[in-house]
Chains A and B, each alone.
Chain A
Amino acid sequence: MLLGELQRTQGDAKGAIQTLERVLQQAPNHMAPAWFLTMAYLDHGRSDQARALLTGMRREFEKNYLWRHAWAILLAVEGNREEALQFMDAETLKFAKLTWSATSTTADFYALQGDRTKAIEWLQLGTARGDECVEYFGRSLRLQSLRDDLRFQSLLASVRARRK
């Protein structure tokens, strides 16, 4: 599963999908690989596959915060702003603050929703909690709307400086 996520953040969405589909085949009732696979599908421009995956798991996992988080991001990608907010509610955000894989990714959600300030706040939280994948942040298509924002550029620069 981690290999799939590494492939995805490296830009190899197709390889990530192959890896994560295999993991999910072996752990079919596990939401974590499904969450990573959703992100890989979205990176690959296959929101239809992401939707099919999450819809198939909805009955069992609708109350699961990872499912709700992934579903909210999918809805945001699809442009369903209001419905997306219903799933990225206060309880899901509480979860996202505690989970290493979800914290920075919540910035994707807000960037897609057009709320750059909140997106940057979530990225700041993610980096403060130890997620220093700034190269990926700079490349991420879902964070594209932040690239010309000085706060975003400054955040990436500060993490790079901290690493040196």
Chain B
Amino acid sequence: MLIEFGPFRIDKSLGKLSKGGTPIRLGGMPLKILLYLLERPGEAVSRGELKKLLWNDAAYGDFEQGLSSAVNVVRRTLNDSADQPRYIETIPGQGYRLIAPLRSIGPAKHDAVESSGDIRLARTGWRFVDQTWRWGIAGALLLGALGAGGFWKFQSKAQGLVEGSRPSVNQEANDQYNLAMSFLAFQNDIPLARKTFQRAVQLYPQFTSARLQHANMQILEIFTGYSNDESVLYRVEEQVHQLEKELPSTDGLLLGMQFQLSLAQGRLDRISAAKIEDWWRDGGNEGRGPPVFVIISRMLKGQVEEPIAIARKRLVEYPM
């Protein structure tokens, strides 16, 4: 079913949003919220309903912040404002309401290409996403989530982690890990992702992937302007040294974290560029081409043509 509101059109069955014929990427929680509101035009939708929709009513500690952040993503995508809403109105103390007039324009025709990827997102909710648009987000996250360059599956029921991650034996910790990854990939909310990874570590302190991601988020908070606390680097260095004792030196997440830390310390000489390139050429990154930190290391060496060629190749393989 295709629905139009303002200059936007959404294919509800595929969860595809467009504006003037140009596709606009919206996924994860923000897309679910928009679709839910579109089902209830003019109705007040409580935050509790949305909590149930997004988290199956599970009592995650960062729900309030996560929901507000997801609604903000929808608003920014629609170029809407909480103060002067055109599409989504906040009902203080209650929830949200879709206030835009909707125009239903009938069923959509889907071709084979359209139905191959994102359809899973629309039909199964949190059952994510191949990497077709991951590149854009991973790029936007500078080094991206370590490991988020690949696809992962996130379902309402507990299950595995992002490829390249090592699940813990604690399912609740694994759930928090996946939740944190969704905050990162779909909401670009690095502080919230950092807190949620921290929660995963608190639930299971031996959870190496969560410890790496928590360390990673602390650095990303600096790179994305949320922090200027240099002492973070010392703490992260200690964490990374501990993880180096626990993980093989070829672990992709660990390698990415070492690069990230060295970059923040201004000590790229500490990590061998050859080691990164060897890891990648030996099949690291699951055959998805060079990871973002390979491009950055070349950029900083003043190389232009080759990193551009790598980036363009990735965009052809995994378009935004």
Q: Are B296 and A133 in contact (CB under 8 A)?
A: no
Q: How far is the CB of B189 from chain A (nearest CB, A)?
A: 8
Most buried by B among A1, A5, A69, A94: A1
Q: Smallest CB–CB gap between A47 and chain B, Å?
A: 21
Determine whether the beta carbon of A64 is less than 8 Å from that of B225: yes
A2 engages B225 (CB within 8 Å):
no
Contact between B233 and A25 (Cβ–Cβ < 8 Å)? no
Q: CA–CA, A99 to B24, complex, Å?
A: 30
Specify which of B76, B189, B308 is in contact with A10 (CB 8 Å cutoff): B308
**Most chain-B CB neighbours within 10 Å: which of A26, A31, A60, A130?**
A26
Query: Are A6's CB and B224's CB within 8 A?
Result: no
B39: shortest Cβ distance to chain A, in Å?
A: 23
Taken residue by residue from 105 to 140, chain A's Cβ proximity to chain B (1 for < 8 Å, 0 otherwise) reads as 000000000000000000000001111111110000
Complex formed: what's the CA distance from A94 to B233 in Å?
Answer: 13
How far, in whole Å, are A137 and B131 apart by their CA atoms in the complex? 35
Q: Which positions 297-315 of chain B face chain A at CB distance < 8 Å?
A: 299-302, 304, 307-308, 311-312, 315
Is A53 interfacial (CB 8 A cutoff)?
no
Q: Which label, helix, strand, loop or mixed, suits the secondary structure of the B interface?
A: helix
Indicate whether A29 sits within 8 Å of B72 (C-beta atoms), given known contacts A6-B308, A95-B222: yes
Interface residue B25 (Cβ < 8 Å from any Cβ of A): yes
Check if B299 sits within 8 Å of A29, measured CB to CB. Answer: no
Is residue A23 within 8 Å, beta carbon to beta carbon, of the partner chain? Answer: yes
Given A31-B224, A131-B300, A133-B302; 11 other pairs, CB 8 A cutoff: A1-B140, A6-B308, A7-B308, A33-B139, A67-B225, A69-B225, A95-B225, A98-B228, A99-B223, A101-B142, A135-B304
Residue B151 interfacial (CB < 8 Å): no
Q: Return the 4 tightest CB-CB contacts between A and B, nearest first.
A: A129-B266, A66-B225, A95-B228, A28-B76
Are the CB atoms of B137 and A26 closer together than 8 Å? yes
Q: Roughly how many angstroms separate A7 CA and B78 CA in the complex, as a whole number?
A: 28
Q: A29 to nearest B CB, angstroms?
A: 5
Once bound together, how far apart are the Cα atoms of A65 and B190, in whole Å? Answer: 14
CB distance from A131 to the nearest CB of B (A): 5
Are A91 and B228 touching (Cβ within 8 A)? yes
A66 close to B266 (CB less than 8 A)? no
Residues of B within 8 A of A61 (CB): 225
Complex contact A3–B308 (CB within 8 A): yes
- The one of B77, B225, B301 in contact with A132, judged by C-beta atoms closer than 8 angstroms, is B301
Across-interface contacts of A92 in B (CB, < 8 A): 228
Interface range for B: 35 or more
Given contacts A2-B292, A23-B140, are A130 and B266 in contact (CB under 8 A)? yes
Q: Could you tell me if A28 and B311 are in contact, using CB atoms closer than 8 angstroms?
A: no
Chain B residue with minimal CB distance to A99? B223
A2-B266 contact, Cβ under 8 Å, with A33-B140, A94-B230, A130-B300: no
Q: B304 near A9 (CB under 8 angstroms)?
A: yes
Chain A nearest CB, measured from B20 CB (Å) = 12
Which chain A positions have C-beta within 8 A of B227?
Answer: 65, 95
Q: Given contacts A22-B136, A28-B76, A31-B225, is CB(A98)–CB(B301) below 8 Å?
A: no
Chain A's nearest CB lies how many Å from the CB of B28? 12
With a cutoff of 8 Å between Cβ atoms, the chain A residues found around residue B308 in the complex are 3, 6-7, 10
- Is B141 part of the binding interface, using a Cβ–Cβ cutoff of 8 Å? yes
State whether the Cβ of B168 lies closer than 8 Å to any Cβ in chain A: no
Evaluate contact between B136 and A26: CB separation under 8 angstroms: yes
- State which residues 231-253 of B face A: CB under 8 Å: 233
Shortest Cβ distance from residue A83 to the other chain B in the assembled complex, whole angstroms: 19
Given A2-B295, A10-B308, A134-B302, CB of A27 within 8 Å of CB of B223: no
CB contacts (< 8 Å) of A31 on chain B: these are: 224-225
> For residue A46, which residues in chain B have a CB less than 8 angstroms away from its CB?
none
Q: Is B320 an interface residue (CB 8 A)?
A: yes
